[in-house]
């Protein structure tokens, strides 16, 4: 008798049964493999929002939501935050192992020499009004990259996949900075190869012709840390979107552009922008009680943005790190932001309130990040763009993993049909 674990499912409704294998991973709950369920029983499963559904096997990131654990390729996020940098973390997500000195230097060289965007892309920006949301420009610009780079679109070629990954990680900061500069009417800035990844981005964002930019090491370190914390997060909505689009054979730029649009939603990556807007609306610690009351009111669509998570039913480990960093960065930059007091009061009030405690609603990665972006001079509408720059490494790592997995199929969920029953077109209608 094999030691394979089986779930015996007996369907009393039609006296059919199914022997469903349990699949175990390295960590985390076993999963019931239901691939034969429809054939055996004639039934689908139903799980809108996929709260109980694993969509794939992956070796990239592991989350234990109850314990508040996040691992990138087995390394705890706290250790990577303390010891790594964003490019090294990106290499880890892509390749499964930390790079040695030579591997890191070669990866950094590749990224540095792919940072420029095609000059024609500048004309693309001119098609937008200056008040266009930068996420709209970013999504459109990344999707358009497949119109410029025809030489790395063979999704079945590992070398093409690697080149597309390097191009995307390298060009996201350049395109993101261009989105910002276009919105404020500044001339676009070319990437400087003598700067490291984050410093190069800050230079492209804030250097103006009228005076040299003094790069602040505190700002660069803070941003690098935020990029590490946002780099990947298992099968979240935008990563699942990248995988679903990638499963059709779509090119990497189209797949990542789909992830950018999914990230934009306020329930997902758009939450960091929504948090800042909400803290501004609340305005003072004196108004926190009213905000908490509204968040609990089922008749009010108001929710505390930056609170709650589908997986974390404990503190989001990234939120803990960002919270500590927030105090440190604002102090080191000499920024006294009254919204930090509002955020701290809001967190304190919510964590004491039964409504939030019973539902295990804790601050998530988006709750404090915006306060740091604001202190770095990044405008609110650019916050989700920052998230997208970082998450590009995770997205493309998942896109590659899916293409490297033998037997990957197009994603095509089924449904419960609740529409009209079969009926005939009325005679004499026309
Ligand atoms: C990210 O998936 C990921 O990993 C995402 C992410 C990543 O790195 O990729 O971690 C990044 O997207 C973080 C989440 C950012 N979003 C927000 O901060 C928006 C506010 N949060 C909520 O919209 C909500 O908590 C979600 C979307 C994050 C999670 O939604 P779920 O899992 O579907 O939870 P739910 O809506 O079923 O809520 C369960 C209960 C409900 O109350 P009851 O019906 O049980 O009475 O909790 C309540 C909800 O009303 N609730 C909230 C709340 N979040 C959930 N009530 C008030 N304020 C909130 N923020």
Q: Residue 305: CB within 6 Å of ligand 1?
A: yes
Please tell me the distance between residue 214's alpha carbon and the centre of ligand 1 in angstroms: 39
- pLDDT value at 1 more than 50: no
DSSP label at residue 376: T
Please tell me the distance between residue 71's alpha carbon and the centre of ligand 1 in angstroms: 21
Q: Residue 63: CB within 6 Å of ligand 1?
A: no
Q: Residue 233: CB within 6 Å of ligand 1?
A: yes
What count of Cα atoms within 13 Å lies in the side-chain half-sphere of residue 29?
Answer: 9
DSSP label at residue 69: E
Q: Let me know if 203 is a catalytic residue.
A: no
Residue nearest to ligand 1 atom 27, measured at CA: 267
Q: Please identify which of the residues 268, 316, 398, 403 carries the catalytic annotation.
A: 268
112's CB contacts (< 8 A; 6+ apart) are 170, 193, 197, 200
> How far apart are the C-alpha atoms of 66 and 272, rounded to whole Å?
23
Nearest atom (ligand 1) to Cα of 230? 8
Pocket test for ligand 1, best of 308, 351, 365, 387 (most atoms within 8 A of CB): 308
pLDDT in tens, 148-185: 987 778 999 999 999 999 999 999 999 999 999 999 99
> How far apart are the C-alpha atoms of 183 and 175, rounded to whole Å?
12
- pLDDT value at 144 more than 80: yes
Nearest atom (ligand 1) to Cα of 316? 10
pLDDT in tens, 7-19: 999 988 888 999 9
Q: Residue 365: CB within 6 Å of ligand 1?
A: yes
Q: Which residue has the tokens 């099968």?
A: 235
- pLDDT value at 128 more than 80: yes
> How far apart are the C-alpha atoms of 133 and 265, rounded to whole Å?
13
Q: Residue 232: CB within 6 Å of ligand 1?
A: no
Q: Please identify which of the residues 133, 309, 398, 403 carries the catalytic annotation.
A: 309
> How far apart are the C-alpha atoms of 270 and 285, rounded to whole Å?
24
Q: Residue 357: CB within 6 Å of ligand 1?
A: no
Tokens of 336: 């006294």
- pLDDT value at 301 more than 60: yes
371 within 8 A of 337, measured Cβ to Cβ: yes
Q: Which residue has the tokens 């250097």?
A: 207
Q: Let me know if 309 is a catalytic residue.
A: yes
Q: Is 162 exposed, middle or buried (0-12, 13-18, 19+ CB in 10 A)?
A: middle
> How far apart are the C-alpha atoms of 246 and 400, rounded to whole Å?
9
Burial 176-200 (b: 16+ CB within 10 A, else e): bbbbbbbbeebebbebeeebbbbbb
pLDDT in tens, 372-405: 999 999 999 999 999 999 999 999 999 999 999 9
Q: Let me know if 398 is a catalytic residue.
A: no
Least confidently predicted of 203-207, 210-214, 281-285: 210-214
**Cα distances (angstroms) measured from residue 99 to each of 104, 206, 358, 394:** 5, 31, 43, 16
Q: Residue 307: CB within 6 Å of ligand 1?
A: yes
Q: Residue 27: CB within 6 Å of ligand 1?
A: no
> How far apart are the C-alpha atoms of 253 and 174, rounded to whole Å?
15
Q: Which residue has the tokens 């763009």?
A: 385
Pocket test for ligand 1, best of 277, 309, 368, 395 (most atoms within 8 A of CB): 309
pLDDT at 150: 77
Nearest atom (ligand 1) to Cα of 237? 2
> How far apart are the C-alpha atoms of 120 and 232, rounded to whole Å?
31
Please tell me the pTM assigned to this model: 0.96
Please tell me the distance between residue 233's alpha carbon and the centre of ligand 1 in angstroms: 15
pLDDT at 3: 60
Q: Residue 271: CB within 6 Å of ligand 1?
A: yes
40 within 8 A of 16, measured Cβ to Cβ: yes
pLDDT in tens, 320-366: 999 999 999 999 999 999 999 999 999 999 999 999 999 999 999 99
Which residue, among 74, 105, 135, 86, has the nearest Cα to 393 in the 3D structure?
86
∠ Cα 171 175 177 (to 5°): 115
> How far apart are the C-alpha atoms of 223 and 317, rounded to whole Å?
17
Dihedral of the alpha carbons of 340, 342, 344, 350, in degrees to the nearest 10: -150
Please tell me the distance between residue 306's alpha carbon and the centre of ligand 1 in angstroms: 8
Give me the chain's average pLDDT, please. Answer: 95
Q: Residue 192: CB within 6 Å of ligand 1?
A: no
């Amino acid at each position: 008798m094999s030691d394979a674990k089986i779930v015996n499912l007996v369907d009393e409704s039609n006296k059919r049964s199914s022997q469903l294998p349990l699949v175990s991973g390295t960590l985390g709950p076993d999963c019931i493999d239901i691939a034969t369920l429809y054939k055996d029983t004639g039934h689908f499963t139903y799980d809108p929002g996929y709260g109980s559904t694993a969509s794939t096997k992956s070796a990239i990131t592991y989350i234990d939501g109850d314990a508040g654990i996040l691992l990138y390729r087995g390394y705890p996020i706290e250790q990577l935050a303390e010891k790594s940098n964003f490019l090294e973390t990106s290499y880890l997500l892509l390749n499964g192992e930390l790079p040695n000195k030579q591997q890191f230097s070669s990866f950094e060289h590749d990224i540095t020499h792919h940072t420029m965007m095609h000059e024609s892309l500048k004309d693309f920006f001119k098609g937008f009004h200056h008040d266009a949301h930068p996420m709209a420009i970013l999504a459109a610009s990344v999707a358009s990259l497949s119109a410029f780079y025809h030489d790395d679109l063979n999704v079945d070629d590992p070398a093409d996949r690697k080149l597309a990954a390097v191009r995307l990680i390298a060009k996201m900061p350049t395109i993101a900075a261009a989105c910002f500069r276009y919105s404020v009417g500044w001339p676009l800035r070319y990437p400087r190869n003598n700067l490291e990844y984050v410093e190069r981005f800050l230079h492209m964002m804030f250097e103006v012709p009228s005076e040299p930019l003094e790069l602040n090491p505190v700002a660069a370190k803070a941003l690098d840390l935020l990029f590490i914390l946002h780099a990947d997060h298992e099968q979240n909505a935008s990563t699942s979107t990248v995988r679903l689009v990638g499963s059709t054979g779509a090119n990497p730029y189209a797949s990542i552009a789909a992830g950018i649009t999914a990230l934009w939603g306020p329930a997902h990556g758009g939450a960091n922008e929504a948090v800042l807007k909400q803290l501004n609306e609340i305005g003072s610690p004196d108004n926190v009680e009213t905000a908490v009351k509204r968040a609990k009111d089922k008749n009010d669509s108001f929710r505390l943005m930056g609170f709650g998570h589908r997986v974390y039913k404990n503190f989001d480990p990234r939120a803990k790190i960002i919270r500590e960093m927030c105090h440190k960065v604002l102090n080191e930059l000499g920024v006294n932001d009254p919204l930090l007091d509002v955020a701290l009061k809001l967190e304190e009030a919510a964590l004491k309130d039964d409504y939030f405690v019973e539902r295990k609603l804790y601050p998530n990665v988006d709750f404090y990040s915006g306060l740091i972006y604001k202190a770095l001079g990044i405008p609110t509408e650019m916050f989700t763009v920052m998230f997208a720059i970082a998450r590009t490494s995770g997205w493309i790592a998942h896109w590659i993993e899916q293409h490297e997995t033998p037997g990957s199929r197009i994603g095509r969920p089924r449904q419960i049909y609740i529409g009209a029953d079969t009926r005939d077109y009325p005679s004499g209608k026309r």
